């Protein structure tokens, strides 16, 4: 099955970051890998998180936003949990 990408919100929105972090924690996801970089005005941060159902990729990129990519069922579960935290 093809991965789904969910743009959660703006990359600079601390409330969005906090809510996503809480939702991931509630679903027992843990960071497995992270990296970041800066190129000109573009700042990108990347995290790979792993939970009971599988793996998700999270990115924060200037002008793109904060996004989560993974299996559609995992994205749906995370979206539902995220909505409870907002």
Q: Are 66 and 13 in contact (CB under 8 A)?
A: yes
Domains observed in the chain: 4-85 (3.30.160)
CB atoms within 10 A of CB 8: 20
For residue range 23-58, list pLDDT tens digits in order: 999 999 999 999 999 988 899 999 999 999 999 999
List phi, psi (to 5°) of 82: -60, -45
Where residue 1 falls among pLDDT bands split at 50, 70, 90? low
CB atoms within 10 A of CB 29: 23
Residue among 30, 56, 58, 55 at smallest CA distance from 46? 58
Threshold 0.85, pTM exceeds: yes
Q: CA-to-CA distance for 27 and 10, rounded, in angstroms?
A: 22
Q: Is 82 exposed, middle or buried (0-12, 13-18, 19+ CB in 10 A)?
A: buried
């Amino acid at each position: 099955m093809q991965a789904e990408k969910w743009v959660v919100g703006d990359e600079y929105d601390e409330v969005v970051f906090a809510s996503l972090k809480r939702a991931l924690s509630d679903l027992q996801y843990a960071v497995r890998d992270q990296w970041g970089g800066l190129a000109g005005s573009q700042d990108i941060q990347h995290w790979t998180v792993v939970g009971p159902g599988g793996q998700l990729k999270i990115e924060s990129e200037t002008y793109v936003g904060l996004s989560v990519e993974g299996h559609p069922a995992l994205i749906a579960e995370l979206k539902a949990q995220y909505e409870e935290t907002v």
